[in-house]
Amino acid sequence: MDTDLARAWVQAIAVAVGRHRDHLTQLDSAIGDADHGTNLDRGFTAAATGVADLSADTVGAVLTTTGTILVSTIGGASGPLYGGAFRALGKVLDTPVAEPLAFAEALAAGLADIQKLGTAVPGDKTMIDAYAPAVAAFEERARQGADFATAATAAADAAEEGMRSTTPLQARKGRASYLGARSVGHQDPGATSTALIFRSLADTAASA
């Protein structure tokens, strides 16, 4: 990944979230505050605008800027979670070009940041259920010597599988946990938006 790909990724996320905004909000209306799609759309639209003309010498500069904008524009818990993850990625990737293994390390740092803040683990019916398997899949392919696009596609596939796995789970974290057994049968909105982020990465890398 170079700075152009990082910028294109953020812009692709903004497009994907905008396209799926109503679906994300619908999912959130069942087990949350019914604002996930609206909040993420506002945040990533602002981030895409913010990095469009950013003079960045490193991948990290693009992603750190993205994270900072997300924290300041997304309400609720999502801003610190998504924004913190992007800033964690940016901190690791202080380089003009990030090879697959370096990006895997950055993804792991993002995961650690989310878990530190949200204290969730796989199976809690949160974004972690999509993010954690995506990180594992990307790292596995990177260690096998795969190129960036191949690793990103594996990560997106794993994130989507993790997203679907949240439907039968009972939420143990976040607002959805207040519903108890009533949270069963609903796909988690955070896992869904996380899957969109990883699919955007895969699509952007494949077309680069």
List domains and CATH numbers for the chain: 3-207 (1.25.40.340)
Burial (CB count <10 Å: 0-12, 13-18, 19+), residue 19: exposed
Q: Confidence band (pLDDT; 50, 70, 90) for 34?
A: confident
What average pLDDT does range 111-115 have in this prediction? 96
What average pLDDT does range 94-113 have in this prediction? 97
Write the single-letter amino acid at 164: R
Q: Give the whole-angstrom CA distance, residue 63 versus residue 73.
A: 15
pLDDT at 130: 98
Question: Does 175 score more than 90 pLDDT?
Answer: no
All residues at 6 or more sequence positions from 1 whose CB lies less than 8 Å from its CB, including other chains: 9, 59, 93, 97, 98, 103, 148, 205
Question: Does 22 score more than 80 pLDDT?
Answer: yes
Q: Confidence band (pLDDT; 50, 70, 90) for 176?
A: confident
pLDDT at 16: 98
Give the rounded percent of residues in the chain with a pLDDT score beyond 90: 85
Q: Confidence band (pLDDT; 50, 70, 90) for 33?
A: confident
Q: Give the whole-angstrom CA distance, residue 62 versus residue 59.
A: 5
pTM of the model: 0.95
Helix, strand, coil percentages, rounded to 5, for the chain: 75, 0, 25
Average pLDDT in the chain: 94
